[in-house]
Amino acid sequence: MRATVRNGRLVLDEPTAIPEGTVLSLVVDDEGDDLDESERSALHDAIRRSWASVRAGRGREVEELLAELRARR
């Protein structure tokens, strides 16, 4: 969700189905991250390797992966 500050209040930019009276915790998203160049390079390398694996047919269905992760808890 996105909101705009108007007269000191947050106004949602689109309608929401959140029930009336719901309390939300808000986080300011600066659209940045705290990665240094080494960490960013490692992240990009991991993404490239993952994408190559998917293209080679070694991907997994998300439902299967989530079920496996839930079973580990």
Per-domain residue ranges for the chain? 3-71
Residue 21 confidence (pLDDT): 92
Determine how many CB atoms are found less than 10 A away from the CB of residue 3.
13
**Using CA atoms in the order 39, 42, 44, 47, what is the torsion angle rounded to 10 degrees?**
-130
- Amino acid identity for residue 64 in this structure: E
Determine how many CB atoms are found less than 10 A away from the CB of residue 10.
13
Give the pLDDT of the chain (73 residues) as one tens digit per residue: 788 999 999 898 888 899 999 998 888 877 778 899 999 999 999 999 999 999 999 988 999 999 999 999 8
Residue 46 confidence (pLDDT): 97
Question: Cα separations (Å) of 48 from 32, 43, 53?
Answer: 21, 9, 9
Structure tokens at 57: 């047919």
Residue 42 confidence (pLDDT): 97
